Amino acid sequence: MPRTAATVARLYQSAMLSAIATFDVYDDILNQLAQETTRGYQLVQRRTYEEMNAMIEADELDLAFVCAGAYAALSPDAPMDVLLVPETDGVVGYSSLFVTRTDSPAQSVGDLAGARLAVTDPLSLTGYTLPMARVLELGGDPQHFFGALTWSGSHDRSLEALDRGLVDAASVMSIAFDRLLLGDGPYAGRLRILERSRRYPPPPLLVSRHMTPELRAHVVTFFTTLDRRAAGREHLSRLGIDRFVPPPQNLDYESVRTLMERVQARSH
Protein backbone atom coordinates (compact mmCIF):
# COMPACT_ATOMS: atom_id res chain seq x y z
CA MET A 1 0.00 0.00 0.00
CA PRO A 2 1.51 3.41 -0.95
CA ARG A 3 2.28 5.59 2.06
CA THR A 4 2.20 9.38 1.81
CA ALA A 5 3.42 9.83 5.40
CA ALA A 6 5.91 7.97 7.52
CA THR A 7 4.33 5.72 10.09
CA VAL A 8 6.10 5.51 13.42
CA ALA A 9 5.00 2.50 15.39
CA ARG A 10 5.38 2.14 19.11
CA LEU A 11 4.79 -1.37 20.30
CA TYR A 12 2.40 -1.38 23.24
CA GLN A 13 4.87 -2.93 25.72
CA SER A 14 8.15 -2.35 23.99
CA ALA A 15 8.21 1.29 24.94
CA MET A 16 8.71 -0.06 28.48
CA LEU A 17 5.57 1.51 29.92
CA SER A 18 1.90 1.09 29.11
CA ALA A 19 0.33 2.87 26.17
CA ILE A 20 -1.26 5.52 28.37
CA ALA A 21 1.97 6.13 30.26
CA THR A 22 4.06 6.78 27.15
CA PHE A 23 1.70 8.04 24.45
CA ASP A 24 2.25 11.71 25.27
CA VAL A 25 6.05 11.26 25.34
CA TYR A 26 6.24 9.64 21.91
CA ASP A 27 3.63 12.00 20.51
CA ASP A 28 5.75 14.98 21.58
CA ILE A 29 8.89 13.39 20.12
CA LEU A 30 7.16 12.71 16.80
CA ASN A 31 5.80 16.25 16.64
CA GLN A 32 9.37 17.49 16.96
CA LEU A 33 10.56 15.01 14.33
CA ALA A 34 7.79 16.11 11.96
CA GLN A 35 8.82 19.75 12.30
CA GLU A 36 12.47 18.99 11.56
CA THR A 37 11.90 16.63 8.63
CA THR A 38 8.82 18.44 7.24
CA ARG A 39 7.11 15.08 6.96
CA GLY A 40 3.95 13.84 8.64
CA TYR A 41 4.02 10.97 11.12
CA GLN A 42 1.37 8.69 12.54
CA LEU A 43 1.83 7.00 15.89
CA VAL A 44 0.62 3.39 15.72
CA GLN A 45 -0.08 1.15 18.71
CA ARG A 46 -1.05 -2.50 18.95
CA ARG A 47 -2.08 -4.70 21.87
CA THR A 48 0.60 -7.39 21.56
CA TYR A 49 4.12 -7.87 20.23
CA GLU A 50 2.79 -10.42 17.76
CA GLU A 51 0.37 -7.91 16.24
CA MET A 52 3.13 -5.34 15.82
CA ASN A 53 5.49 -7.92 14.33
CA ALA A 54 2.79 -8.77 11.79
CA MET A 55 2.77 -5.12 10.68
CA ILE A 56 6.56 -5.17 10.39
CA GLU A 57 6.54 -8.37 8.33
CA ALA A 58 3.85 -6.86 6.08
CA ASP A 59 6.11 -3.84 5.43
CA GLU A 60 3.56 -1.39 6.82
CA LEU A 61 5.92 0.67 8.98
CA ASP A 62 8.76 3.11 8.51
CA LEU A 63 10.07 3.16 12.08
CA ALA A 64 9.32 0.87 15.00
CA PHE A 65 10.31 0.77 18.66
CA VAL A 66 10.39 -2.92 19.59
CA CYS A 67 11.71 -5.05 22.42
CA ALA A 68 14.70 -7.34 21.89
CA GLY A 69 12.50 -10.43 22.04
CA ALA A 70 10.07 -9.12 19.45
CA TYR A 71 12.94 -8.23 17.14
CA ALA A 72 14.52 -11.67 17.56
CA ALA A 73 11.18 -13.26 16.67
CA LEU A 74 11.05 -11.54 13.28
CA SER A 75 11.87 -13.58 10.17
CA PRO A 76 15.35 -13.05 8.66
CA ASP A 77 13.82 -11.32 5.65
CA ALA A 78 11.66 -8.88 7.64
CA PRO A 79 11.98 -5.50 5.86
CA MET A 80 13.42 -3.54 8.80
CA ASP A 81 16.91 -3.14 10.28
CA VAL A 82 18.27 -1.92 13.62
CA LEU A 83 18.89 1.82 13.30
CA LEU A 84 19.62 2.95 16.87
CA VAL A 85 19.58 1.56 20.41
CA PRO A 86 19.05 3.21 23.81
CA GLU A 87 21.87 3.87 26.25
CA THR A 88 21.37 4.21 30.00
CA ASP A 89 24.09 5.16 32.48
CA GLY A 90 26.69 4.66 29.76
CA VAL A 91 25.53 1.10 29.06
CA VAL A 92 23.95 -0.34 25.92
CA GLY A 93 21.89 -3.31 27.09
CA TYR A 94 19.36 -4.28 29.70
CA SER A 95 18.53 -6.98 32.21
CA SER A 96 15.50 -8.83 33.47
CA LEU A 97 14.58 -8.16 37.08
CA PHE A 98 12.69 -10.46 39.40
CA VAL A 99 10.92 -8.02 41.72
CA THR A 100 8.92 -8.70 44.86
CA ARG A 101 7.49 -6.67 47.75
CA THR A 102 9.74 -5.66 50.60
CA ASP A 103 7.66 -7.73 53.04
CA SER A 104 7.95 -10.92 50.96
CA PRO A 105 9.83 -13.78 52.64
CA ALA A 106 11.36 -14.79 49.27
CA GLN A 107 15.15 -14.48 49.20
CA SER A 108 15.82 -16.17 45.85
CA VAL A 109 14.03 -17.13 42.66
CA GLY A 110 13.82 -20.67 43.98
CA ASP A 111 11.60 -19.35 46.76
CA LEU A 112 9.03 -18.30 44.14
CA ALA A 113 7.95 -21.88 43.42
CA GLY A 114 4.15 -21.86 43.44
CA ALA A 115 4.03 -18.06 43.52
CA ARG A 116 1.91 -15.80 41.30
CA LEU A 117 4.16 -14.08 38.73
CA ALA A 118 3.30 -11.05 36.60
CA VAL A 119 4.68 -11.31 33.04
CA THR A 120 4.13 -9.06 30.03
CA ASP A 121 3.98 -10.76 26.63
CA PRO A 122 4.99 -14.17 25.20
CA LEU A 123 7.55 -12.46 22.93
CA SER A 124 9.02 -10.29 25.69
CA LEU A 125 12.65 -11.08 26.49
CA THR A 126 12.76 -9.60 29.99
CA GLY A 127 9.07 -9.97 30.77
CA TYR A 128 8.75 -13.67 29.88
CA THR A 129 11.64 -15.48 28.17
CA LEU A 130 14.35 -14.71 30.73
CA PRO A 131 12.30 -15.65 33.82
CA MET A 132 11.30 -18.91 32.15
CA ALA A 133 14.94 -19.54 31.20
CA ARG A 134 15.90 -18.96 34.84
CA VAL A 135 13.42 -21.64 35.89
CA LEU A 136 15.07 -24.03 33.46
CA GLU A 137 18.47 -23.22 35.00
CA LEU A 138 17.04 -24.17 38.39
CA GLY A 139 15.90 -27.51 36.99
CA GLY A 140 12.24 -26.53 37.04
CA ASP A 141 9.46 -26.79 34.50
CA PRO A 142 8.36 -23.37 33.16
CA GLN A 143 4.86 -24.74 32.70
CA HIS A 144 4.39 -25.65 36.34
CA PHE A 145 6.99 -23.84 38.46
CA PHE A 146 4.83 -20.81 39.22
CA GLY A 147 1.40 -21.09 40.74
CA ALA A 148 -0.04 -18.71 38.15
CA LEU A 149 1.11 -16.32 35.42
CA THR A 150 -0.65 -12.97 35.10
CA TRP A 151 -0.27 -11.35 31.68
CA SER A 152 -0.16 -7.65 32.50
CA GLY A 153 0.51 -6.24 29.03
CA SER A 154 3.33 -3.91 30.14
CA HIS A 155 6.11 -3.69 32.69
CA ASP A 156 4.64 -0.84 34.72
CA ARG A 157 1.35 -2.72 35.02
CA SER A 158 3.27 -5.74 36.29
CA LEU A 159 4.76 -3.57 39.01
CA GLU A 160 1.38 -2.08 39.81
CA ALA A 161 -0.14 -5.55 40.16
CA LEU A 162 2.72 -6.51 42.47
CA ASP A 163 2.37 -3.38 44.57
CA ARG A 164 -1.38 -4.00 44.95
CA GLY A 165 -0.81 -7.58 46.07
CA LEU A 166 -2.43 -9.15 43.00
CA VAL A 167 0.74 -11.16 42.36
CA ASP A 168 3.69 -12.24 44.50
CA ALA A 169 6.47 -11.25 42.09
CA ALA A 170 7.02 -9.66 38.69
CA SER A 171 9.57 -10.00 35.92
CA VAL A 172 10.35 -6.62 34.39
CA MET A 173 13.04 -4.89 32.31
CA SER A 174 15.75 -2.92 34.06
CA ILE A 175 15.59 0.14 31.79
CA ALA A 176 13.34 2.71 33.42
CA PHE A 177 12.40 0.43 36.31
CA ASP A 178 15.72 0.86 38.07
CA ARG A 179 14.57 4.45 38.30
CA LEU A 180 11.00 3.57 39.27
CA LEU A 181 12.17 1.26 42.02
CA LEU A 182 14.92 3.40 43.50
CA GLY A 183 15.24 6.92 44.84
CA ASP A 184 12.01 8.91 44.60
CA GLY A 185 10.22 6.41 42.36
CA PRO A 186 6.61 5.49 43.10
CA TYR A 187 7.58 2.09 44.49
CA ALA A 188 10.61 3.17 46.53
CA GLY A 189 10.59 1.37 49.85
CA ARG A 190 7.74 -0.94 48.84
CA LEU A 191 9.31 -3.19 46.19
CA ARG A 192 12.75 -4.75 46.00
CA ILE A 193 14.81 -6.48 43.34
CA LEU A 194 15.14 -10.17 44.12
CA GLU A 195 17.45 -11.02 41.24
CA ARG A 196 18.93 -9.34 38.16
CA SER A 197 19.87 -11.28 35.03
CA ARG A 198 23.01 -10.65 33.02
CA ARG A 199 22.81 -7.94 30.39
CA TYR A 200 21.23 -8.60 26.98
CA PRO A 201 20.97 -6.54 23.76
CA PRO A 202 18.61 -3.57 24.25
CA PRO A 203 15.23 -2.87 22.63
CA PRO A 204 16.09 -1.34 19.24
CA LEU A 205 14.64 1.35 17.04
CA LEU A 206 14.03 -0.28 13.65
CA VAL A 207 13.99 1.46 10.28
CA SER A 208 12.43 0.35 7.00
CA ARG A 209 14.85 -0.71 4.29
CA HIS A 210 12.78 1.41 1.93
CA MET A 211 13.40 4.71 3.73
CA THR A 212 15.39 7.11 1.58
CA PRO A 213 19.01 7.70 2.64
CA GLU A 214 18.28 11.40 3.12
CA LEU A 215 15.33 10.84 5.46
CA ARG A 216 17.19 8.08 7.27
CA ALA A 217 20.07 10.48 7.96
CA HIS A 218 17.61 13.09 9.28
CA VAL A 219 16.03 10.52 11.60
CA VAL A 220 19.42 9.40 12.93
CA THR A 221 20.51 12.99 13.58
CA PHE A 222 17.23 13.80 15.31
CA PHE A 223 17.25 10.84 17.72
CA THR A 224 20.98 10.96 18.49
CA THR A 225 20.76 14.64 19.45
CA LEU A 226 17.63 14.46 21.61
CA ASP A 227 19.78 14.36 24.74
CA ARG A 228 21.36 17.71 23.82
CA ARG A 229 18.06 19.57 24.14
CA ALA A 230 16.18 20.33 27.32
CA ALA A 231 12.85 19.04 26.01
CA GLY A 232 14.53 15.99 24.51
CA ARG A 233 16.28 15.13 27.77
CA GLU A 234 12.97 15.34 29.58
CA HIS A 235 11.32 12.97 27.10
CA LEU A 236 14.19 10.49 27.36
CA SER A 237 14.15 10.65 31.15
CA ARG A 238 10.46 9.73 31.17
CA LEU A 239 11.36 6.69 29.07
CA GLY A 240 14.17 5.74 31.45
CA ILE A 241 17.02 6.20 28.98
CA ASP A 242 19.80 8.76 28.50
CA ARG A 243 20.23 8.83 24.75
CA PHE A 244 20.03 6.92 21.47
CA VAL A 245 23.26 5.66 19.88
CA PRO A 246 24.24 3.61 16.81
CA PRO A 247 24.19 -0.13 17.55
CA PRO A 248 27.57 -1.53 18.66
CA GLN A 249 28.97 -4.20 16.37
CA ASN A 250 28.96 -6.82 19.14
CA LEU A 251 25.19 -6.78 19.72
CA ASP A 252 24.07 -10.40 19.52
CA TYR A 253 20.35 -10.74 18.92
CA GLU A 254 20.94 -14.27 17.63
CA SER A 255 21.62 -15.35 21.22
CA VAL A 256 18.24 -13.89 22.17
CA ARG A 257 16.58 -15.87 19.38
CA THR A 258 18.28 -19.09 20.52
CA LEU A 259 17.19 -18.53 24.12
CA MET A 260 13.60 -17.89 23.06
CA GLU A 261 13.52 -21.06 20.98
CA ARG A 262 14.85 -23.06 23.92
CA VAL A 263 12.19 -21.72 26.26
CA GLN A 264 9.42 -22.21 23.71
CA ALA A 265 10.51 -25.82 23.13
CA ARG A 266 10.29 -26.56 26.86
CA SER A 267 7.00 -24.70 27.34
CA HIS A 268 4.86 -26.86 25.03
One domain, residues 173 and 82: no
Rg of the chain taking only CA atoms, in angstroms: 18
* 68 in Cβ contact with 206 (< 8 Å): no
Q: Which residue has the higher pLDDT, 17 or 106?
A: 106
pLDDT band at 29 (very low <50, low <70, confident <90, very high): confident
Whether the predicted pLDDT of 12 surpasses 50: no
Q: What is the helix (H) or strand (E) element at residue 116, kind and residue range?
A: strand 116-119
Question: Can you name the residues that pair with 42 across neighbouring β-strands?
Answer: 7
One domain, residues 103 and 84: no
Please state, in angstroms and rounded to a whole number, the distance separating the CA atoms of residues 222 and 206.
15
Q: Is residue 262 part of a domain?
A: no
One domain, residues 117 and 194: yes
One domain, residues 190 and 106: yes
Range of lowest pLDDT (3-17, 48-62, 115-129, 198-212): 3-17
* 46 in Cβ contact with 55 (< 8 Å): yes
pLDDT band at 54 (very low <50, low <70, confident <90, very high): very high
Q: Is residue 258 part of a domain?
A: no
pLDDT of residue 44: 80
Q: Is residue 55 part of a domain?
A: yes
One domain, residues 186 and 223: no
Q: Is residue 10 part of a domain?
A: yes
One domain, residues 81 and 172: no
One domain, residues 177 and 237: no
pLDDT of residue 176: 67
* 76 in Cβ contact with 209 (< 8 Å): no
Q: Is residue 266 part of a domain?
A: no
Whichever domain contains 102, its CATH number is 3.40.190.10
Whether the predicted pLDDT of 121 surpasses 60: yes
pLDDT of residue 32: 86
Q: Is residue 267 part of a domain?
A: no
Whether the predicted pLDDT of 20 surpasses 60: no
Q: Count the domains in the chain.
A: 2
One domain, residues 194 and 208: no
This prediction's pTM: 0.89
Q: Is residue 241 part of a domain?
A: yes
Report which of 166, 158, 11, 139 is spatially closest to residue 96, judged by C-alpha positions.
Answer: 158
One domain, residues 233 and 107: no
Q: Which residues of 152-261 form beta strands (DSSP E)? A: 169-173, 191-196, 205-208, 243-245
Q: Is residue 264 part of a domain?
A: no
Range of lowest pLDDT (17-31, 51-65, 157-171): 17-31
One domain, residues 168 and 190: yes
Please state, in angstroms and rounded to a whole number, the distance separating the CA atoms of residues 41 and 217.
16
Tens of pLDDT, residue by residue over 248-257, are 988 899 999 9
The boundaries of the domain holding residue 118 are 96-200
One domain, residues 102 and 189: yes
Report which of 117, 187, 107, 195 is spatially closest to residue 158, judged by C-alpha positions.
Answer: 117
Q: What percent of the chain has pLDDT over 70?
A: 89
Residues 6+ apart with CB under 8 A from 170: 98, 99, 100, 117, 118, 119, 152, 158, 159, 161, 162
Tens of pLDDT, residue by residue over 132-178, are 999 999 999 998 999 999 999 888 889 999 999 999 999 999 986 77
Of the three residues 156, 171, 200, the one that is the final residue of a domain is 200
One domain, residues 209 and 165: no
